[in-house]
Structure 1
Amino acid sequence: MFKGGRLRKPPFGKGGLGDLNLKNRAAAIDASYRSTYQKRFRWLPSALFKPELAEDLLKDALALVEILTQCGNWNPQQDTKLAELARLITEQHPHDKLLIFTQFADTAAYLAKQLQARNVTQLALATGQSADPTELARRFSPISNAATVTAADAVRVLIATDVLSEGQNLQDCAIVVNYDLPWAIIRLIQRAGRVDRIGQQADCIRCYSFVPADGVERILNLRQRVRERLNQNAEVVGSDELFFDDDAKVLAQDQALRDLYTEKSGILDADHDGEVDLASYAFQIWKNATAADPSLVAKIENLPAVVYATKAQPRRINAPPGVLVYTRTPQGNDALAWIDDTGAAVTQSQLTILQAAECTADTVALPRVEQHHDLTKLGIAHILKEEQRFGGSLGRASGARAKAYERLKRYRLNVGDKRDLLMTDDEVRCMDRTLETLLRYPLFHSALDTLNRQLRTGISDQHLVDLLLNLQRDERLCVTHTLPEQQEPQLICTLGLCAPD
């Protein structure tokens, strides 16, 4: 502890902070923080370290030492949760592939180390710090990735953070383990979606989730504490009108919290004309269709790379005939266009266009209209023009990526060359890197969900910047390692719409 520029010995002896072993360990940890983990922390100017702060830090250190004295060192042999996981791997599923998700990289590393110590073999660890998570995915799920893997390189147990919850084919596995529960239920769905995909051979997919030992009552208490924090920070739900004391407002507040916790359909969506996760919508449509008719799997797999179809348009207002076009742009953005039979765009709403394509299994397939290809060409041109007009590589201006970029850019311009006591040069450089990343690469679906949620609830510029920088530091903001090198737009499919008889 430093005071007045000189080292002051703590007022206690052996067994406390004055113990040489603890001092050496503290010095080693400090060295690792200044080297290996330097970018994880916001380093404050030395002028902030006043004598009063030193006294407060000393009190905190004493409290921590007391906890360590009472509880002792962490003993993995007494970790009952770890023991249950090891039993699941070695006894319940000794020959099956298991995909184990945990939220934090430190937890994942701990599990990998301890399971290896318990003789769990063919094990690999995938986090944001992994050199090539995609390569680990291929070793774990070679069939779904059309990869050749030797027995020595094969992986049976893969421990991962959410770095593998998106954009990877892992359907050689049929067992997913959630070692800890994420706040958003949608995270569990995305994790299961890595194995519940086309090509999955298992009749049943098992998902194991570890829950708090105290059960439902503890979860309810957690919700209550969160609700109290919501009362203190109205921006979490967007306005303070939910926090009056009358019964009606309290009930409204309870429902708002419940909807946020369960991610009720629509509550985290962007505006009606905002960014729609077309891949997720398409996947859900696929799951519903194949569940109703399993024979569709073989039929769809045998279709050519690009397909088109035509159907009669229902009798309704503002639903003119024409062509629906689904395209992936050179910037990696998925987009839809609806071009009517005169060559004009019908709407910019991605959700409206997607809904216009809705049909049932018995919908009659009609012959292609004569101007189908010409309208498709106009649709692709329209998509590319709108992308350039509304944010260029950032996608639509109403999307979370474009909004986040513009607000971060505005914040960075306001900062300029100024610094306050809590803003370091490293943080400014991180802002610049984040701006470049947002401009060049698409968002992870998890980051998209988080940003949509926070933007809808009126997050402040400062909190939005903190969120973006944390996602950037944890490598959970944008997909930078799998972005395809694409110079031309990719036409996915088209659907012709004919006028009703």
Structure 2
Amino acid sequence: MNTLKRIKELISTTITTIDNFDLHKSQVIELTEINDTDFDSEDQNSDELYSFGKKVKIDLADMDYVSWRKDLAADLDILELLTFMVEDIGPEDDCKLQELLNEIKQKIEKPINPGNKKVIVFTAFADTAEYLYDNVSKFVKLNFGLDTAMISGSVDGKTTAKLKRTDLNTVLTLFSPISKDKELLMPDDNTSIDVLIATDCISEGQNLQDCDYLINYDIHWNPVRIIQRFGRIDRIGSRNRCIQLVNFWPDVTLMITFSSRLKLRQE
């Protein structure tokens, strides 16, 4: 929902700029790429199609801004419809979130390796990571007394554990203490983090094989990313007898429903 609102605001601002454009005065508009509000800004494996954290400068005098405005207005209509469809949906009505909570509940109550309650939840979107953290952390703390942490490239780390620092290294060390040599780095800290919500900013180069259960809350457009995510726990040195990967696949009926509603609206 937050992503939709930001994209709508960006498009509305751009349309206003075009409407106020004076052809006799060169006007440059600076747009934050829409992808910057979509995929996590620290997605380090994106190709040129997804260039994050950058600005795009466009001189309206150099382009067919009339056609562009028409396309932007059409996009805005679609976004308005999407917002209308989801604005009344709360966490308790979010079937996908409730399924995730149930998946975490089963993992904690029935570990696939004795005593291992650790779970990683990956999402490509920083907004989704924030949403999941807000809801999952409360659920896990209330029902099991365990701590949750979130790592994304857009904000500082967050955790329900009482820590002086919530930087990436501290959070990951407390989540995967054996693989991260916690006894050497933080010998006097007995804090334990059992649930980690993360974006693809940690999908490479991290040894998190203390964990044995990884959930992909969404499927990245690049299938290699799924392999990289799973590689955080499927690593040499794992002391787990078995490890599990869980994928949340898109529901095709969502697109069918959206297409039907869009058709009705156009009629």
TM-score by length of 2: 0.57
2:58 alignment partner in structure 1: 44
Q: Which residue of 1 aligns with 2:151?
A: 126
Partner of 1:136: 171
Residue equivalent to 1:371: none
Q: Does 1:105 align with 2:130?
A: no
Residues 123 and 155, structure 1, Cα contact 8 Å, conserved in 2: yes
Pairwise CA distance, 1:65: 2.7
- The superposition leaves residues 232-259 of structure 1 with CA deviations (integer Å, 9 ceiling, x where unpaired) of xxxxxxxxxxxxxxxxxxxxxxxxxxxx
CA distance in structure 2 between the partners assigned to 1:70 and 1:181 by the alignment? 22
Q: Name the counterpart of 1:88.
A: 103
Separation in structure 2 between the aligned mates of residue 202 and residue 67 of structure 1, nearest angstrom: 43
CA displacement at 1:214 relative to structure 2:
4.1
Q: Give the number of the structure whose alpha-carbon radius of gyration is greater.
A: 1
Report if aligned partners of 1:112, 1:125 keep a CA contact under 8 Å in 2. Answer: yes
Q: 1:205 aligns with which of 243, 246, 249?
A: 243
For the Cα contact (< 8 Å) 1:4–1:51, is it kept in 2?
no
SS of 1:124's equivalent in the other structure is strand
Match of 2:196 in 1: 158
Conservation of the 8 A alpha-carbon contact between 1:134 and 1:168:
no
The residue type paired with residue 166 of structure 1 is E
Higher relative contact order (CA 8 A, sep 6+): 2
Q: Deviations over 1:279-302 (max 9, x none)?
A: xxxxxxxxxxxxxxxxxxxxxxxx
Which residue does the alignment assign to 2:83? Answer: 68
Confirm or deny: 8 A CA contact 2:148 2:193 kept in the other structure: yes
Question: CA distance change for structure 1 residues 59 and 208 in 2, over 3 Å: closer, same or farther?
Answer: closer
Partner SS for 1:118: helix
- Identity rate of aligned residues, in percent? 34
Residue deviations 1:7-27 (CA, integer Å, cap 9, x gap):
xxxxxxxxxxxxxxxxxxxxx
Q: CA deviation at 1:156?
A: 0.8
Check the 8 A contact 1:166/1:194 in 2, yes or no. yes
Cα 1:140–1:119 shift into 2, 3 Å: closer
State the SS of the aligned residue for 1:158. strand
Cα root mean square deviation, aligned:
3.4
Structure 2 match to 1:180: 218
Give the Cα separation in 1 of the matches to 2:84 and 2:249. Answer: 28
Q: Which residue of 1 aligns with 2:136?
A: 115
Q: Number of matched residues?
A: 186
Cα displacement (A) at 1:185: 4.3
Alignment correspondent of 2:72: 57
User: Equivalent residue for 1:236?
Assistant: none
Kindly state the Cα deviation for residue 87 of structure 1 after the two structures are TM-superposed.
Answer: 1.4
- How far off is 1:63 after superposition? 4.2
* 2:231 aligned residue (190, 193, 206): 193
The TM-score with structure 1 as length reference comes to: 0.32
5+ unaligned residues in a row in structure 1: which ranges? 7-32, 219-501
Which of structure 1's runs of 4+ aligned residues deviate more than 6 A?
none
| 3-state secondary structure, aligned to 1:93 | helix
Letter in 2 for 1:104: F
